[in-house]
Amino acid sequence: MKRKQVVLFSLFCLMSMAFFGQRERVEYLPTFDERKIHYGFYLGLNQNDFKIALNDTNLTPAANITVTTTTGFNVGLITDLRLHKNINLRFEPGLMTNTKNILFNHLETPRDSLREVSSTFLRIPLLLKFSTDRYQNVRPYVLGGFSYNYNFSSNENNKDDNAAGQFRTTTSNFMYEVGFGIDIYLYYFKFSPSIRGIFAINNEVKYDNDPNSKWTAPINYMGTRGVFLTFSFE
């Protein structure tokens, strides 16, 4: 959590300095927002984990599952359609990579208690962006929408399950995301740092072949949730 707080605080400071430090009266790219459609790309970092809800089971000892994460990477393209002077529809297909460790603390041996889950998602989000009126060379905004996420690393069709050391997840997933950021108009392009939260809608766990599996039977729901730090160039 400390790493997330540092990242969020740093981006907040960057946005604050950009917004309150506008002393230059020359407006860059004054007609940029009048375009009906424009393109760009984005780079970013993510830190995702799983939200896990457990069933009431008769396992002994009782199930205890936690998740640890590493920092992942995002990259993608942007297509932006102007619907209104303050509303844009955005299509942002891209890739997201991340690795999570699932700890089954109720199991004793290292072979049974740890599963590394690597995810490589093809993300296809459709977002609505709501912007304030432009102030000199900055323009704050909020956005939200839904995405389809195809997980290349899911192993959903793998016949091996946790009994063979393989934790499986679903390939096709749906998520929603919300966020806020600020457009900064520079001489040649528009730069947009933002913070976004992403939350899975469907259950992503692929249950083991054994309905009484000590790994997946206790899980009622498991879904991705995370924070993105995104830098867009348009």
Closest by alpha carbon to 97, among 115, 114, 75?
75
Q: Is residue 46 part of a domain?
A: yes
pLDDT exceeds cutoff 50 at 1: no
pLDDT exceeds cutoff 70 at 12: no
Label residue 56 by pLDDT band (50, 70, 90).
confident
Conformational region of residue 188, where left means phi above 0, alpha means psi within -120 to 50, and beta covers everything else: alpha
**Cα 158 to Cα 130: distance, rounded to the nearest angstrom:** 42
Mean residue pLDDT of the chain comes to 89
Q: Is residue 31 part of a domain?
A: no
pLDDT tens digits, 96-130: 999 999 999 988 887 888 999 989 999 999 999 99
Q: Is residue 223 part of a domain?
A: yes
Q: Which residues of 55-80 are buried (b: 16+ CB within 10 A; e: fewer)?
A: eeeebeeebebebebeebebebebeb
Label residue 14 by pLDDT band (50, 70, 90).
low
Q: Indicate which CATH number applies to the domain containing 184.
A: 2.40.160.20
- Number of domains observed in the structure of the chain: 1
pLDDT exceeds cutoff 90 at 88: yes
Dig out the tokens for 8 from the structure.
């969020």
pLDDT exceeds cutoff 70 at 59: no
pLDDT tens digits, 75-87: 999 999 999 999 9
Cβ(42)–Cβ(213) below 8 Å: no
Q: Is residue 9 part of a domain?
A: yes
pLDDT exceeds cutoff 90 at 13: no
Q: Is residue 53 part of a domain?
A: yes
Q: Which residues constitute the domain of residue 132?
A: 2-19+37-233
Q: Is residue 118 part of a domain?
A: yes
Q: Is residue 27 part of a domain?
A: no
